Amino acid sequence: MMKQYKAALMMIDGFEESETVQIADLLKRAGVETHTFRFQDDPYVKGMQNITVRSDKRFGEEVKNYDIIIVPGGRTCAAKFIADEEFMDTLRWFNENGKLIAGMCSGTVVLEAAGVLKGKKATGYTGYETKLLSAEFVHDVAVFDQNVITSQGPATPFPFAFKIMEVLGIDPSYIKGRLLYEEAGGR
């Protein structure tokens, strides 16, 4: 029997809605138990495009019971994540315990600030090679090194989610086929 993986997907005011919703949808299709976590009492979190999305749970110690923690992008949310000491400590805890950490777009800047990219290969949004200085920057859509998965930006939630699946040992080919991903030229 295949292990039931659990993914914790973070949402804070200013998060990138399309990245977050697409990642959650794809991981759920792959059988990954995926929950969105907020940092406020109100379960409705306002995104970068002013779209409000209902989150599943409030951020706290429970996140440490998940197999992977995922930080999506959003122009204004990186600074908010970085300002939250408990969250940054949680990212460091995941890293110290060899648990999976994933970030895309400005989420990679959060991983850099937490110190979890140090000495690892990573990718990020265009021009982020000047922001992800502790990592070996790779110009690729999605990159996995040691326990960290990174991806470029708003156009990459599909390859990012597929890379997460692969790292978890889940073959994404069935989902790619159902979505006509390869026929559309996805990589």
**Domain presence at residue 44:** yes
List the pLDDT tens digit at each of the 187 positions of the chain.
568 999 999 999 999 999 999 999 999 999 999 999 999 999 999 999 999 999 999 999 999 999 999 999 998 899 999 999 999 999 999 999 999 999 999 999 999 999 999 999 999 998 899 999 999 999 999 999 999 999 998 889 999 999 999 999 999 999 988 887 766 666 6
pTM across the whole model: 0.95
CA distances from 4 to 27, 28, 66, 103, 165 (A): 12, 11, 11, 21, 12
If one counts the domains in the chain, the total is: 1
Q: Is residue 42 part of a domain?
A: yes
Q: What is the domain range of residue 47?
A: 6-177
